[in-house]
Amino acid sequence: MYRPIPVLCCILALALAPAALWAAKVKVWNQSTPAHYDKAQLKQAVISSEGALRLSRQLKPLVELNATHVWDIVEDKAGNLFVATGDEGKVFKITPEGKVSVAFDSQESQVFCLALSPDGSIYAGTGPSGLVVRIAPDGKSKVVYHSPENYVWSLALDAKGDTIYAGTGPKGRIYQVTPGGKASVFYTTKQDHVLCLATGPDGSVYAGTDKNGLVYRIDEKGKGFVLYQAPQAEVRSLLVTADGVYAGTSSPTKRKGATGSSGGDRTSTTGTPATLTSTTKAAAKTADDDKSKDSTAPPPPAKDKDKDKEPEKSSPASSIAPPSSGENSLYRIGTDGTVREVFREKTLMLSLMKQEGKLFVGTGMDGQLFEINEASKERSEIARLDHGQIHCLCKCKNGSIVVGTSDPGKLYVLQDRYASKGTIVSEVFDARIVSKWGSLRWKAETPVGTKVTVAVRSGNIAEPDDTWSEWSDEQTDAEQATITAPAARFVQYRVTMASDNAMVTPVVRGVALRYMTTNQAPEVSSIEVPDLDAVNLDNPKKLKFKWSATDANEDDLTYNLLVRKDGWKNWVMLEEGLTKTEYEWDTTTTPAGQYQLKVVASDRKDNPAEDALEGERISAPFPVAHAAPTVTVKVVGVEGDQAIVEATATDPLVRLTGASFAVNGKKWINVFPADGLFDSKTETFKFKTEALKSGTHVLVLKVRDAAGNTGSGDVVFTVQPKR
């Protein structure tokens, strides 16, 4: 919920409201940034990084697949699509005419990845037994390599197709496999999982890993170099281009100690060694369950001779502000080693593709497809599914883009056309008290054939139900529209965009709703006055008052202070027009007695005089005391050479706080009441003097009260000489 912004002007429609009911200060909810739509419901509509609302691109279903997950897609030279799926572990073949067949039916539960060889062969990586399978152009399939790992997450081929690179887990190894099945460990990352692989034009292999968020570059000789260590734990997608490497992260949580360069403590906040995405974890769990049932599963691999070899690390990247928890990023690693964050969002970056200078990013968990224009820096959500995750994007030879999703597994073709209609239903706005609605404004670009309308509804409970008003008629005039909904506490709007031309979309760049709350009187919630029975004040002649007040309309308040002494009929103004909530009162010019303080709060600053309201509160009684305590002293006897003294002290208004005596004008000696406590207005004392010589003496006893007054009593007595 966004804090309403006060607006000092008045809307004509609201000015006609009854003066006794409505405050004059107009407030506004202004929606113009992506964050403002975090809780909005978007259907066939998307939002850009600049806060612009548009119709989404059309996603046309391609074919029906019996699959839970679509993990990867490749296209062969003939235009056939091969689709890796789970949880049945099948590779489907889809012809350009849309005919679907099963190209490979694995005993494995998951086929995670595919790679196309120059000779037309398709290679597939599986779990939970870590197989590399070759599907020949004639349709025959063969297990090329049964790895010692659980999962083959990613595959890449060199330019000639002579070497297949397999990224695996949970040991974080990359294997090199020949088409004939000869295999060896190409590189050991010391990470948990190698989730994505790609090859560069110079023969280098690039790898994205899980555990410490590393992006590796490995030369043909197997020498590893860390290009970048992301602040997130998991690098899930890679795209290698002529001018750099793009790496997308997919960590559900942010790790402690994350920085923008290599090095540092990279432990996961989840407490697990690998922070795979939820879908990857689900696939791994399914594969593990299947593996536990397979008595033929291979034994753990032997220790590699290069296991303890650390990859060369560097920190060439420029400084990047660390993402917050739950945020993932797309990074561009330049050919000079510099790193730039291209995109950040609270989602999982699962798939990457580049076409005509624009980047496409498929994400989860809300099935959003983003388009990034690096030249203009604008990032736009261009399509959103009503399910799952976009795990793969395939750029086809005919220029189309095929989108593969999970939960459930489906295929779509991204159309270069916009949806005909889309809506954005805002979050529910809370005015806190019953309010009257004013103008409704929006900024829109409406090319020929497009239109934008806005409707509103209101209610008095936070979740819209049948007690809310119906949606209003669609408002069409962005300059003259009003919120035609009943006065209420909560309000919600709905933007509807429509286009008769699939090649253009309207654009909405901001929505503003103005309203006035019902004026309510301010409330003085508490008053603090000095309690002289509880504390000793540094300067009891200057009493400090504090109070607190609230206003449901969030108006600025001023305060008048009044006092009244017991016996007075009327209140006397002490101070008026205060803006602070504290005051110090010098009581030396005020008669003694029991007083009360009244604080009156007014919202006049934000309302016309006829509409302004007040709230007040009266304090507990407190004393103003100027009279000194009355003290009586007498000597009741002599014990040896010490006089025995009894005394009584009384104060009319406040408790006594201290006493001391002096004999013959000498030093003052503290004494205490007979019960040991200064806790009342009357105290009795009994004490002995110090040893005295024979002769006449004068003793003075002074007693202080909590108001800072001092009274005294004296007695003259004689000490007889000893015989």
- CA 665 and chain centroid, separation: 72
Nearest-CA neighbor of 585 among 528, 658, 504? 528
Residue 315 pLDDT level (bands cut at 50, 70, 90): low
What is the per-residue pLDDT for 519?
86
What is the per-residue pLDDT for 258?
36
What is the per-residue pLDDT for 516?
87
Query: Is the Cβ–Cβ distance between 612 and 569 less than 8 Å?
Result: no
Residue 455 has pLDDT above 70, yes or no: yes
Other residues' Cβ atoms within 10 Å of the Cβ of residue 671: 17
Query: Is the Cβ–Cβ distance between 351 and 362 less than 8 Å?
Result: yes
Residue 303 has pLDDT above 80, yes or no: no
Residue 275 pLDDT level (bands cut at 50, 70, 90): very low
Query: Is the Cβ–Cβ distance between 84 and 72 less than 8 Å?
Result: yes
398/634 Cα distance (integer angstroms): 117
Ordered by where they begin, the domains of the chain are: 5-54+421-517 (2.60.120), 66-347 (2.120.10.30), 523-624 (2.60.40.10), 630-719 (2.60.40.650)
Least confidently predicted of 36-40, 166-170, 252-256: 252-256
Using DSSP bridges, classify how beta strands 622-624 and 224-229 pair: parallel, antiparallel or unpaired. unpaired
Residue 277 has pLDDT above 90, yes or no: no
- Summarize pLDDT for 167-177 with one digit per residue, the tens: 999 999 999 99
Query: Is the Cβ–Cβ distance between 365 and 394 less than 8 Å?
Result: no
Nearest-CA neighbor of 168 among 365, 301, 292, 310? 301
- Summarize pLDDT for 539-590 with one digit per residue, the tens: 899 999 999 999 988 889 999 999 999 999 999 999 999 999 999 999 999 9
Nearest-CA neighbor of 125 among 180, 75, 84? 84
C-alpha separations of 149 from 114, 160, 214, 259, 671 in Å: 17, 26, 20, 31, 89
Residue 282 pLDDT level (bands cut at 50, 70, 90): low
This model's pTM is above 0.85: no
Query: Is the Cβ–Cβ distance between 52 and 30 less than 8 Å?
Result: no
- Summarize pLDDT for 59-97 with one digit per residue, the tens: 999 999 999 999 999 999 999 999 999 999 999 999 999
Asked if the peptide bond before residue 170 counts as cis, ω within 30 degrees of 0, the response is: yes
